[in-house]
Structure 1
């Protein structure tokens, strides 16, 4: 039987075999499922092959260990879900690290051991007592970490006597330290038998504890796969130039790509006629970018604003408009050194949220100035749109120009782009 629950609703100690743990539903942006492909997950054939071999090995009675590495949004949880779906005939116990529980010793270990606590009596006395104290089941001094690790390994071996067992720890970078140490101990000391330990973590976390263990890296998607994923997530019209920019800014990260698509309004997706200032950022995120922008030279900030205001990130158009505002090629260096943008060929922001933050933190006067410069060199329908954003107030002549641009916008981006001129 498979039970689906939300992570926030799981009381401590209730994780049992074959539970599928999902995130609580997001409000902004909405969560979009990672689509399957003909073999496993889209763009993850090699990773799925490795997980298939892990399942085959544990079914054959061999111990297996794997550390799954990947940036936030790389799809590690999707790969773990794939593993659970392929693990028919195996027991799967799964815990997910939570930043709020990092200060609670043995919290994650308790989740993993909860289904088998009725077997504690089968363990050697010192191991049984160490786990009992760790889980608050009996009184005693702080348990010896070595005995806790041995007890955890013995408990997994006892459970695996019934059928192969796969122990999964997601978001391992947020595990409490004693649980992480116990998992690493078991991963290093598994002597055999049908037990697998799989830990998913971000790069740079738990490096010392997990050093030397077999690793699988979930890297970025190829551009072709990223486009397929993007088009699967957008229900309306998607302009080709806009899709190119989203793919470039996401750097192959499926989570970042889906978040970018979910944050954009239909007008921006359909024809690039959308304002990044309309996207709401969490206050700490916006403040963080504001602090990164503040030390940059004024001309560098102006260049970034030009790039943020031109939805298609057309490098020719950006440089022409920036040049009209007094920006020179040397002004890009401080922004590149700060890790904000890349100008080597196609223009792209390094962080998917940077473009929104740059535009939102600029003054209205600076935004109008940038749109005015972009209007001077853009194609006719985009010129009208930029002029509309640069206007300080109602203008009859401009309104007529916007009205004339509607047919071209509709032809390129449909009703979504059409609405940007209304």
Structure 2
């Protein structure tokens, strides 16, 4: 948007996310980094870029309180889209009814449910590219996370409308550098401050960022994810 301030200090990550947001092919990207390094700001930028291009964006965030509720994360993603599931075939609708508690029965397999989700996303998007953005994905329940991985893999395997396969999945790590700034340059640092304290994003004195810390009282490494299903997927629609 015209009145948005530029994000300073995360040019590499912005380029990756902008490429995903603008691509017509199936893609998936996992954005990792410690709390407070600016992952949500970058996901905001990717969503805004996609919307500016006239694409559809579906966005949600993991919730810690729901991390043990089966399929709660998937329901967050699909909730605004479920009214349109009436246009899908009976078997696909039954998969959603079962996992979201509308009917009783055994939950479908990850593959069956993943295909049902792809059918719904394809039906909703139509001829417009669709971007799915999940913030704090580490709080997704295990069942939703499995389906999410299936969708991401399917997105990069499927062929788009031009006959080409998706361009692949990526993991993008963000180190402990300062969070991204918006606007112009800030005040100059005092002279004499140790250079090691000005580590570039994604590095710490030349070493890779440390792994997740999972001890008592220590934060895990939050993550955000974005996926663009390929436009070549055709949903199994309801018979006329």
How high is the TM-score relative to the length of structure 2? 0.67
With over 3 angstroms needed to count, the CA separation of the structure-2 counterparts of 1:240 and 1:64, relative to structure 1, is: same
Could you say which residue in structure 1 is the equivalent of 2:171? 215
Equivalent pair of 1:36/1:42 in contact (CA under 8 Å): no
Could you say which residue in structure 1 is the equivalent of 2:159? 192
Residue aligned with 1:213, SS: strand
Equivalent pair of 2:22/2:49 in contact (CA under 8 Å): no
Larger Rg: 1
2:75 matches 1:110: yes
Could you say which residue in structure 2 is the equivalent of 1:170? 135
From 109, 131, 137, the equivalent of 1:144 is 109
Could you say which residue in structure 2 is the equivalent of 1:18? none
Structure 1 CA distance, aligned partners of 2:201 and 2:91?
A: 46
1:316-335 alignment runs, 5 A limit = none
Structure 1 CA distance, aligned partners of 2:133 and 2:16?
A: 15
With over 3 angstroms needed to count, the CA separation of the structure-2 counterparts of 1:128 and 1:229, relative to structure 1, is: same
2:43 matches 1:80: yes
Gaps of 5+ in 1: 1-34, 195-211, 233-237, 255-283, 289-422
Residue aligned with 2:107, SS: coil
Deviation at 1:125, TM superposition (A): 2.8
Structure in which a larger fraction of residues adopt helix: 1
Report the aligned-residue RMSD.
Answer: 3.4
Could you say which residue in structure 2 is the equivalent of 1:52? 18
Structure 1 CA distance, aligned partners of 2:184 and 2:66?
A: 33
With over 3 angstroms needed to count, the CA separation of the structure-2 counterparts of 1:247 and 1:253, relative to structure 1, is: farther
Moved more, 177-186 or 115-124: 115-124
Equivalent pair of 1:157/1:193 in contact (CA under 8 Å): no
Structure 1 CA distance, aligned partners of 2:150 and 2:40?
A: 23
Structure in which a larger fraction of residues adopt strand: 2
Taking CA–CA contacts closer than 8 Å with sequence separation of 6 or more, which of the two structures ends up with the larger relative contact order? 2
Equivalent pair of 2:21/2:47 in contact (CA under 8 Å): no
From 30, 33, 53, the equivalent of 1:70 is 33
How high is the TM-score relative to the length of structure 1? 0.40
Deviation at 1:138, TM superposition (A): 2.5
1:318-397 alignment runs, 5 A limit = none
Structure 1 CA distance, aligned partners of 2:195 and 2:74?
A: 40
Deviation at 1:229, TM superposition (A): 9.2
Structure 1 CA distance, aligned partners of 2:176 and 2:112?
A: 40
